[in-house]
Amino acid sequence: MRMGIRNNSENKQIEKIQRNNRRTLKRLRVEGKTRKMRVGFLVGDTAKWSCQPLYDEFERSQRFEAVILVTADRQGNRSNSGLIKKVNETQDFFISRNMDVQAAYDVRTLQYLDLRQFKPDIVFYQQPWAIDQAQSPSVVSKFALSCYVPYSIASTTEVMVHYPKTFLYGMWKHFITSSLLGDEYESWMLSNKESLIITGHPKLDAYNNEISNAMHYIIYAPHFATKDTILRLSTFDWSGRFILNFAKTHNNLNWVFKPHPLFRFQIIKDGIMTEKEIDDYFDEWAGIGIIYNQGDYFDIFKNSDALITDCSSFLSEYLPTMMPVVHLISETMVAQNPISKVASSHYYKAHNIIELEFYLNDVIINKNDPLRNQRIEDISVLNIDGISASSKILKHIKKELEIYD
């Protein structure tokens, strides 16, 4: 498969970014010998925040300092007032964690700020989408190196082909989970293959700590990708109401409703529910359990007994818990990437209401889990080897910058 075709204008812009990357790297190799390197994390949505262990790793290093650069994420068609509310909530989230936070979006003027004023040497991007030109890799490459850790482990070539080409081919480093994914990307990328670095994923570093399963949560995590989107993962049109009703009749369990950040927007956009209907749906979940909208959800995972989901990334992220998953299957879903395919091979797959009802009762209520041992063997696909992905990323960057302790 050959994807990612570029036009001449894109080629010239990408070549310019890559030249900037080489010049910036050369300069930082010199400056890194006499001062700390400043690492900025550009974040617009806490629900997609997946780099806390990496931020902490940089903070612990004597050669780096880290800062959160809060920007505005316009995905979800937010109004200006909604956008301002989201920016303020994002800032408050990181401030509450006593992290270094700077506003990279001016809520008074509704302007994206030039990241140069924050003096980053490296900028980590949260996603390739909805990046204002002022904060894009093409601008940032003039003064900093751009890195990408996808918030989703489950990216596929069908999705990546829609990445902005200057992002995909201009990125200095793209840290990915597994050689399975690396081989797939290399098979169709036209250039910049050297940017692909296999480290595992920082969000999975959460599993380096002991797993307790103390609270025994049951998690329902619906994806946003309806049949009118690229991924087509959502089964909400046939499973959403049934699962809520099941939860209401089993309210002795500790339920967690964990929708994708774009779930509410997409359900309304595609006419599956009206705004009032989806608000009522959320209210019903709030009446029997927890609604969890943040990105740092691994404590919830580690303290759960089961997951019900059609979210492709969670198929991999949940696997190290060794707990069962009722995998909701959309008949029109895009092909899974190699990691998700292996990770989900020993989950309980529900294609319809009849199968869903059977697995909810058999796996969750009766606690039958005959596939557990096979799942434990599948964990190896996630490249969890006792060394954190965050430390691997730091080690690689120090080597590239020629920083030696």
Position 3 scores a pLDDT of 47
Domain boundaries defined on the chain: 8-200+385-400, 211-382
Per-residue model confidence (pLDDT) at position 160: 67
Q: Are 344 and 321 in contact (CB under 8 A)?
A: no
* SS3 assignment, position 312: helix
Asked whether the whole model's pTM tops 0.85, one would answer no
Quick one: pLDDT at residue 2?
46
Cα–Cα dist 175/46, whole Å: 20
Name the CATH topology of 8-200+385-400.
Answer: Rossmann fold (3.40.50)
CA neighbor of 319 nearest in space, from 240, 203, 216? 203
Q: What is the mean pLDDT of each run of 10 residues along the chain (405 residues)?
A: 62 94 98 96 91 96 97 80 91 95 96 97 93 95 96 67 84 89 78 91 86 84 74 86 97 94 87 93 96 86 94 89 94 74 92 97 97 92 84 97 89
**Nearest CA to 309 among 277, 348, 336?**
348
Give the pLDDT confidence score for residue 356 in this predicted structure: 97
Q: Return the pLDDT at 330.
A: 86
By the 10 Å C-beta count (0-12 exposed, 13-18 middle, 19+ buried), 213 is classed as: middle
CATH superfamily of 211-382: Glycogen Phosphorylase B; (3.40.50.2000)
Helices (H) and strands (E) in the chain, counts: 16, 15
pLDDT of residue 217: 96
